[in-house]
A = this chain, B = another copy of it.
Amino acid sequence: MTTHVIAVDVGGTEMKAALVAVEPGTATPLREIRQPTPRGDGPILDAVRGLVESLRGGVELAAAGVVVPGVVDERTGVGIYSANLGWRDLPIRDRLAEQLDVPVILGHDVRAGGLAEARLGAARGLRDVAVLPIGTGIAAALILGGALHTGGGRAGEIGHVDVGHGERCGCGRTGCLEAVASSAAIARRYRARSGEPAAGGAEVVAALRDGDPHAAAVWQDAVDGLARGLIVLAGVVAPECVVLGGGLARAGGLLVEPLTARIDELLAPHHRKPRLELAELGDTAGCLGAALLATEGLTTA
């Protein structure tokens, strides 16, 4: 059976929206719109409504799924906090539902993107999956027993687990995974060590390919931190598969090969060994995940 939904991924700079046909195991965008995200929560909600109205044309819609960044409570439909979009405790789901005649499901961009990778992408068919986009920060989307685990919007904060390196994090604590392995941290640590400029992780990867020893040292620390973070995930939630995404995953084998080797060194007999995969859905994951939430929210409601 085909269900038609509208999916909207509200990013810090761009909104991606699509009319999506969802069937078990597939989600096909039929029409898409991308536009800049306006400033302020009133204009953003107006823009989401405008996108839904523009895309629906003549199709019987089952629901609209909207995903946003920051801290989100899926169960209450509230955007608890977003530094980028400037809101706090905004009842997004109810505000949108007041003016749209379809059910609205609110989701979190990272968790929705993870759900899409688990259902349609790199981990399709698996029940226990962690999806880690590695960019400015690091967080995990957890799909456990086949269902998205939200923890009241607070689950998956693997970026601020102490992995023992002792360096200070922007959050004020020490040892956070993010402080050694995020794209931003890798660039910062490379600049400090080499005196060379590097705007992001991609430049450090380029230097690594050129045999730069400073890049190699910084990369090794990042890989060690990631391996320790994944060992924590293995011990606590035991995913079958970890999907690596975000900018850093573009390093491909340069990331996956040493990370696999380091995990093998750290893994204990009680651990379930996670398969490592690279994300497949790129920047459409959030929008596809919004479509899945819109569909699955209806089936479980």
A interface secondary structure, majority: loop
* B235 near A152: Cβ-Cβ < 8 Å: no
* A164 contact set on B, CB distance < 8 A: 162, 164, 175
Q: Which residue of B lies closest to A234 (CB)?
A: B154
* A71 contact set on B, CB distance < 8 A: 270
The residue from B152, B239, B271 contacting A128, defined by CB atoms under 8 A apart: B152
Residue of A128, A154, A239, A268 with highest tally of chain B CB at under 10 A: A154
* B142 near A237: Cβ-Cβ < 8 Å: yes
* B235 near A157: Cβ-Cβ < 8 Å: yes
The verdict on A240 contacting chain B, using a C-beta distance below 8 Å, is yes
The verdict on A144 contacting chain B, using a C-beta distance below 8 Å, is yes
* A272 near B236: Cβ-Cβ < 8 Å: no
* B272 near A239: Cβ-Cβ < 8 Å: no
The residue from B144, B158, B171, B270 contacting A268, defined by CB atoms under 8 A apart: B171
Per-residue interface assignment for chain A, residues 229 to 241, with 1 indicating a CB less than 8 Å from any chain B CB and 0 otherwise: 0001111111110
Q: Please, how many residues of chain A have a CB less than 8 angstroms from a CB on the other chain?
A: 39
* B160 near A149: Cβ-Cβ < 8 Å: no
The verdict on A251 contacting chain B, using a C-beta distance below 8 Å, is no
* B235 near A160: Cβ-Cβ < 8 Å: yes
Please measure, in the bound complex, the distance between the C-alpha atom of A172 and the C-alpha atom of B71, giving whole angstroms: 38
* A236 near B238: Cβ-Cβ < 8 Å: no
Known A-B contacts A145-B149, A147-B145, A150-B145; the reply to A158 vs B235 at CB < 8 A is: yes
Known A-B contacts A145-B149, A147-B145, A147-B147; the reply to A154 vs B272 at CB < 8 A is: yes
What is the distance, in angstroms, from A114's C-beta to the closest C-beta of chain B? 14
Residue of A140, A151, A270 with highest tally of chain B CB at under 10 A: A151
Known A-B contacts A160-B268, A164-B164, A270-B160; the reply to A151 vs B237 at CB < 8 A is: yes
